[in-house]
Amino acid sequence: MTRPELVTHDAVYPESPRWYDGELWFSDVHAYAVKAVDTAGTVRTVVDVPGRPAGLGFLPDGSLLIAGALDRRLWRWDGTSLQMLADLSPMVHGLLNDMVVDARGRAYVGDTGFNLMAGEPPRAGAVITVDTGGDMTPVVAASGVQFPNGAALDEPSHTLWLSETTARRVTRFRIGSDGRLSEARTVIDLPGLCDGLCVDHDGNVWVALLEAGEFWHVAPDGAVLQVLPADGRLAVACVLGGPDRRDLYLCSAATTMAELAQGSSRGLIHRLRVDTAGAGRP
């Protein structure tokens, strides 16, 4: 396959895709719901999220952790009920955004610092960590980040990658034993706003360039290996999934930034078979 194939157009604005238990799970942000799509393209609603879902991650017991963008809370969905795990609103200055969860249940979630779509003036954000298997006390893992967005981590190398959207770069951090992030290093400076990302076994990053409408494959030294166009749509997020993690799922949206601010969008998810499998999380 040389071009991505359409999996579904049954979405409004698909974000934070996560492969789990034979399905692609995603936040359908402006539908205020978490959904899942199977390999045949059948979409189901998992749970409605009144606080508007953003980042997703799976906990060690298989339950789903959801970042509520507007209410600034972390929610747990166990298949039956939606329960609040942590209220981060006292320490969040913007909205909760994308999130990644490690194997022990430690979550890393972005505080955007300001509301971009509402036209607020830019302000630095933060990455907040919450140990869901520990005392649940939220801690600022990194401050001064510029609109933290797509996130991925590799636990053996103690590395976390982050899209800093308004800084137009992908940044790599070292994860300390206490979960705090240090040794920030720019992987690549980008020509536009960046959104969701994932990593592969070669240490390369797939990253969505939102307004440019492209998905870039970037080597650890910043070299651009491949560019996939989203055919005029916003490029939103990507993840490597499937049974062998060689199916690259691409989330995009037929909308404009102005229309999106009003919640108007038509989301699509495509799939492309790639040579190098996914690594780390998501």
Q: 5-45 pLDDT, tens per residue?
A: 999 999 999 999 999 999 999 999 999 999 999 999 999 99
Q: What is the pLDDT of residue 122?
A: 87
* Angstrom distance (rounded) from CA 10 to CA 30: 13
- One of 3.40.50.1100, 1.10.150.20, 3.40.50.150, 2.120.10.30 is the CATH number of 5-273, namely 2.120.10.30
User: Which position has the token pair 């491949």?
Assistant: 226
Q: Which residues contact 7 (CB under 8 A, 6 or more apart)?
A: 24, 37, 39, 41, 249, 269, 270, 271
* Angstrom distance (rounded) from CA 22 to CA 37: 9
Q: Is the Cβ–Cβ distance between 77 and 47 less than 8 Å?
A: yes
Please, which pLDDT band fits residue 177 given cuts at 50, 70 and 90?
very high
Cis peptide before 282 (omega within 30 of 0): yes
pLDDT in tens, 57-98: 999 999 999 999 999 999 999 999 999 999 999 999 999 999
* Angstrom distance (rounded) from CA 250 to CA 238: 5
* Angstrom distance (rounded) from CA 193 to CA 15: 15
Q: Which residues contact 119 (CB under 8 A, 6 or more apart)?
A: none
Tally helices (H) and strands (E) across the chain: 1, 24
Q: What is the pLDDT of residue 120?
A: 78
pLDDT in tens, 211-253: 999 999 999 999 999 999 999 999 999 999 999 999 999 999 9
Least confident interval from 19-28, 172-181, 253-262: 253-262
Q: What are phi and psi of 37, to 5 degrees?
A: -125, 135
- Take residue 106 and report the two structure tokens written for it: 């430690």
SS3 259: helix
Q: What is the pLDDT of residue 118?
A: 73
- Take residue 228 and report the two structure tokens written for it: 């996939």
Beta strands 266-273 and 5-11 are antiparallel
pLDDT of 189 strictly over 70: yes
pLDDT in tens, 90-128: 999 999 999 999 999 999 999 999 887 777 788 999 999
Q: Which residues contact 156 (CB under 8 A, 6 or more apart)?
A: none
Q: What are phi and psi of 21, to 5 degrees?
A: 55, 45
Q: What is the pLDDT of residue 273?
A: 97
pLDDT of 1 strictly over 70: no
